[in-house]
A and B are shown apart, each in its own frame.
Chain A
Amino acid sequence: MATDVERWKDEVYGNDIREHLFRFAEEGWDAIPEDEHDEWFERFKWWGLYHQRKGQESYFMMRIGTPNGVLEPGQLRTVAEVADEYARGPVDNPEFGAAYCDWTTRQSIQLHWIKLEDIPDIFEKLEADGLSTQQACGDSWRNIVGCPVAGKDTHEHIDAWPVAEELHETFKGNDEHSNLPRKWKVSVTGCDQGCGQGDINDLAFEPAEKHGELGFNVRIGGGLARKEPRFARDVDVWVPEEKVVDIADAATRLFHDHGDRDNRFNARIKFLVDEWGAEKVRRVLDEEYADWDLETAGEDLRDQYTYNAGGDEHGDHVGVHEQPDGNYYVGLNVLVGRQGVDDVIELADLADEYGSGEARLTQRQNIIVTDVPESDLDDFLAEDLLEDYSPDPHPFMRGSIACTGTEFCSLSIVETKNRQVRYARWLKENVDVPDGVTDFHIHLSGCTASCAQPQIADVSLRGMKTRKDGEPVEALDVGLGGGLGEHPQFADWVEMRVAADEVPGYIQNLLAAFDEQREGEETFREFVAARDEDALGDLADPEETDYEDPYMHNTKMTWYPYADEDDLDASPAPTDGDGETISADD
């Protein structure tokens, strides 16, 4: 039986949603019939808009898809100006202020508190500068990810940026591919470090050589959500660069035709690959969808992958790195991926002054300024802003990733970003970093949807609830030892329902145990892999410390976790285009 979402999509979906969205924007929040909220909010996702959670009615999160994380010169400033003018809510965030930009784990941008009435003006401003929210969410081609320094990387074998651009131009707004059974996440990388994170995408292109020619091997069916995380499967296909769009088209049509539209929880292509196996996927692709004979896989570079590989790794593009043209890119650490808007504007100024004006977003929620001449490097690195967004951050600041959490998200059950900021600061002040550890990944996701990619972190944290001193409090499940590299590994879950204020103490005890018990230069990931379930469970205990957590209460039940009066009843939402509360009598 078709799901509600499939029925709604049959009625209106894809590009056609825009005229309805603009009509609602013109007429105001109340123009969306209350009994049609679910269907319109589902459709708006296709245009990059998520309705915010209960208590924040009439406000939207807006996601801007920047393919491969590339912000062309001028675009960073445009994003900041949009955030400054339109992404302001009724209450400031205590860590980040009144307006801010989020850099996401899929190299996109998220702004919050967007009012329906402002959407046409925002689209006009974004689109005038080549930016778009189209298909940033919804059941279609999502933002294409890849090595964020494609075209500017000394580790590169193929410049994947033109490939990503061509895929973006072919499949964004393409009516034939606008209504897929579920989201469709694609990764393209041309470097030998694996930083496209292809393993966790629905469709992945990874550099490989065949007949002396560099092209791409194809993997299909990766994804992290819920209890079924999957690494993309090797379907034994190699394509030359000029065939990437064709095989992507074939794979998308296969998903379109065979993905499960009767059950959204079984709809991602990873489940079809589970059911069919990689061989059948290849055979069907070859016989029914590709109009040329598919080549078998070429020789890949996976044995060189260092990205998030757990050891001597190239983990996040943070730092100063030489480009092939002799200029430098400087990767700046953005704790939990959020920058206040004044800082973003200042960074846009610095990118203009010292680089080409281009900026790039990484899958570790960081930002890169490219094209800095060697002669300007020292002056750039001496800028005050880089004290807050360091190219040489402390390992705990460097490794911290967090999803949106209960601040705005309808799914999350715990507060995340501000908590992770506090965790990182406390760990930096109180926990000794084991020898040789430069980058310790701690990913905090507010629910099982896994937007912070917790399963591929050294320490995976995922939202839960527990009882403490008789009261329900926010808690986290804890996993250990995940990562990518040649042999990717999902985290082993070792603790359930650790009270959120005891997690820093747990990590402190965990790293003390690691330091004490590790053999020689053993990495944390090797250390975890060498231990069975019982040993991992016995490694460390949660512990209260002087860490203070102001978000232990049920933040899901507040209208905004940081408001002085945070009860749902105190919410000003829904509001009109001027931010004034819409009275129930209106």
Chain B
Amino acid sequence: MADRVLKVNAFTTFTLLDGEVEGHGWQTDAPAVLNVTTGDGDVILELELDNTETDEVQSHADRASLSPDEARELAAELESYADRAEE
């Protein structure tokens, strides 16, 4: 089994989330690591689902780069949806 791709330590934003990976005609639940960091002036959002839970995709992590403005927009969206989720 391949090792984890993302480093995991006390600075990792979330070490244990409920994740889901979905393709055409298949879907699998898996624990996930979700982390926020910075790189080259951007905010990096990175996600990795435990690779033990599915054979549909190879061991991997996903990353998206957000400009600081985009990161703030995302933060506002998260706040807003957090409120809605609690309604």
Is B8 a contact partner of A464 (Cβ separation < 8 A)? yes
Q: A556–B9 Cα gap in the complex (Å)?
A: 10
B1-43 at interface with A (beta carbon < 8 Å): 1-12, 15-16, 31, 39-41
Is A411 a contact partner of B9 (Cβ separation < 8 A)? yes
Q: A226–B1 Cα gap in the complex (Å)?
A: 15
In this assembly, does B52 line the interface, its C-beta being within 8 Å of a C-beta of chain A?
A: yes
Q: A227–B52 Cα gap in the complex (Å)?
A: 16
Is A413 a contact partner of B50 (Cβ separation < 8 A)? no
Chain B nearest Cβ from A445, distance in angstroms: 10
Knowing A467-B16, A472-B16, A493-B3, the reply to whether A448 touches B10 (Cβ < 8 A) is: no
Is A227 a contact partner of B4 (Cβ separation < 8 A)? yes
A431-466 at interface with B (beta carbon < 8 Å): 447-449, 463-466
Q: A565–B41 Cα gap in the complex (Å)?
A: 41
Chain A nearest Cβ from B76, distance in angstroms: 26
A376-412 at interface with B (beta carbon < 8 Å): 406, 409-412
Cβ of B1: which chain A residues have Cβ within 8 Å of it?
492-494, 533, 536-537
Cβ of A479: which chain B residues have Cβ within 8 Å of it?
3
Residue interface mask A497-518, B partner, CB < 8 A = 1: 1000000000000000000000
Q: A492–B2 Cα gap in the complex (Å)?
A: 7
Residue interface mask A406-434, B partner, CB < 8 A = 1: 10011111000000000000000000000
Cβ of A495: which chain B residues have Cβ within 8 Å of it?
52
Closest to B51 in A: A496
Partner of B16, one of A263, A466, A492: A466
Is B7 a contact partner of A448 (Cβ separation < 8 A)? yes
Q: A447–B11 Cα gap in the complex (Å)?
A: 10
Q: A556–B2 Cα gap in the complex (Å)?
A: 26
Closest to A497 in B: B31
Cβ of B12: which chain A residues have Cβ within 8 Å of it?
413
Chain B nearest Cβ from A61, distance in angstroms: 15
Q: A494–B51 Cα gap in the complex (Å)?
A: 10
Cβ of B39: which chain A residues have Cβ within 8 Å of it?
263
Is A496 a contact partner of B15 (Cβ separation < 8 A)? no
A215-250 at interface with B (beta carbon < 8 Å): 225-227
Knowing A466-B31, A493-B1, the reply to whether A412 touches B16 (Cβ < 8 A) is: no
Q: A465–B40 Cα gap in the complex (Å)?
A: 30
Is A448 a contact partner of B9 (Cβ separation < 8 A)? yes
Is A493 a contact partner of B2 (Cβ separation < 8 A)? yes
Cβ of B11: which chain A residues have Cβ within 8 Å of it?
410-411
Cβ of B41: which chain A residues have Cβ within 8 Å of it?
1
Cβ of A410: which chain B residues have Cβ within 8 Å of it?
10-11
Closest to A448 in B: B7
Knowing A1-B40, A227-B4, A413-B15, the reply to whether A496 touches B50 (Cβ < 8 A) is: yes
Chain A nearest Cβ from B19, distance in angstroms: 12
Cβ of A226: which chain B residues have Cβ within 8 Å of it?
7
In this assembly, does A261 line the interface, its C-beta being within 8 Å of a C-beta of chain B?
A: no
Q: A464–B7 Cα gap in the complex (Å)?
A: 11
Cβ of B3: which chain A residues have Cβ within 8 Å of it?
227, 479, 493
In this assembly, does A477 line the interface, its C-beta being within 8 Å of a C-beta of chain B?
A: yes
In this assembly, does A53 line the interface, its C-beta being within 8 Å of a C-beta of chain B?
A: yes
Knowing A467-B16, A494-B1, A497-B50, the reply to whether A413 touches B8 (Cβ < 8 A) is: yes
Partner of B9, one of A1, A263, A449, A536: A449
Is B9 a contact partner of A464 (Cβ separation < 8 A)? no
Is B31 a contact partner of A413 (Cβ separation < 8 A)? no
Cβ of B31: which chain A residues have Cβ within 8 Å of it?
466-467, 496-497
Chain B nearest Cβ from A560, distance in angstroms: 15
Which of B1, B6, B11 has the most CB atoms of chain A within a 10 A radius of its CB?
B1
Is B7 a contact partner of A413 (Cβ separation < 8 A)? no
Q: A463–B15 Cα gap in the complex (Å)?
A: 10
Is A477 a contact partner of B10 (Cβ separation < 8 A)? no
Residue interface mask A464-475, B partner, CB < 8 A = 1: 111100001000
Interface pairs (30), CB distance under 8 Å: A1-B40, A53-B10, A227-B4, A227-B5, A406-B10, A409-B10, A410-B10, A412-B9, A413-B8, A413-B15, A447-B7, A447-B10, A448-B7, A448-B8, A448-B9, A449-B9, A463-B8, A464-B15, A465-B15, A466-B16, A467-B16, A472-B16, A479-B3, A492-B1, A493-B3, A493-B4, A496-B50, A497-B16, A533-B1, A537-B52
Binding site for B on A (CB under 8 A): 1, 53, 225-227, 263, 265, 406, 409-413, 447-449, 463-467, 472, 477, 479, 492-497, 533, 536-537, 556
Binding site for A on B (CB under 8 A): 1-12, 15-16, 31, 39-41, 50-52
Extra 11 A-B pairs, beta carbons < 8 Å, given A494-B1, A536-B1: A226-B7, A227-B7, A263-B39, A413-B9, A447-B7, A448-B4, A448-B7, A465-B15, A493-B1, A493-B4, A556-B10
Question: What 8 A-B pairs have minimum CB-CB distances, sorted nearest first?
Answer: A447-B9, A465-B16, A411-B9, A448-B7, A465-B15, A226-B7, A227-B3, A493-B1
